[in-house]
Amino acid sequence: MSLLRDPRPMSKADGTGPEGFGLALRAEWTKLRTAEGTGWLLLLAVTLTVAVGCGTAKAVKCPDTRCGQDAVKLALTGVTVGQAVIAVFAVLAVSGEYGTGMIRTTLTAVPNRLTVLIAKATGLTTVVLAFGTVAVLASLLAGRYILPGNGFTEAHGYAPLSLADGPTLRAAAGSVLYLGLIALIGLGVAMAVREAATAIGIALGLLYLFPVVTQVVNDPEWQRHLQRIAPMPAGLAVQATVNPSGMPIGPWAGLGVLAAWAAAAMLVGGLLLQRRDA
């Protein structure tokens, strides 16, 4: 509401300049910080990511040098679960405003809707990247201590997990970016759909439906094609540290596919935000 009382000229506060964007960004940060359940959702995302990673690391054995497992990917398995909470968090961050009618106040204070969208995306991804970093680092740390007890030792060709190792660093950084892109998909879908339950269903469907379809399809060539274009399988290719050249898509190329999905979701959400009434 403080934006409505801004005594400066509207050109400064409507998002047409850096000051307007700064005001919009501060407003979005305040909403994220004070929204009910926000902190708990982010903590749940971190907890699930680390817990599932620990469970997987504890369950998988490497009895000899020919086990062929990807230790880094095992430690980061929890990202496949934590991403669901991140998607829900992103959807609720937007749909909650539409549900309460707060979006009208936002658009009155900052009439430039592109500025509103960019501010929301910036605030949301900053928070998700911060918590994602904690989740990924904690998962790798847990894997570093758990995996050697299951045979992932130097004698079997596995050095302790360390960010000093190039592929491990790429997998860690890529996993954090992956979660940030998932948040943008949730944001874009919520902007387009507005209604929380429907937006959550669409966002989670985009993530988890493709892997199910891939398993149903019997043609190996079609399976490989689906893995190259599906958001989750393509994006998570960035975690591969064992024989990445044998993957359907390369690590960074796969993350690029996910980025394209996020860009498409944001584009559709942004266009609908521009054309529709609040």
In a domain, 36, yes or no: yes
Look at residue 235 and tell me if it is in a domain: yes
User: Each residue of 34-50: pLDDT tens digit?
Assistant: 777 888 999 999 999 99
| Averaged pLDDT, 225-232 | 94
Position 207 in a domain: yes
For residue 15, is it within any domain? no
- Dmax (CA) for the chain in angstroms is 71
In which domain, by residue range, is 66 found? 31-275
CA distance 120 to 278: 16
pLDDT for residue 99: 77
Domain contains 162: yes
Say if 242 falls within a structural domain.
Answer: yes
Alpha-carbon distance of 75 to 140, in angstroms, equals 6
pLDDT digits (tens, 9 = 90+) for 166-180: 999 999 999 999 999
pLDDT in tens, 179-219: 999 999 999 999 999 899 999 999 999 999 988 998 888 88
Total number of domains in the chain: 1
**13 found inside a domain:** no
In a domain, 212, yes or no: yes
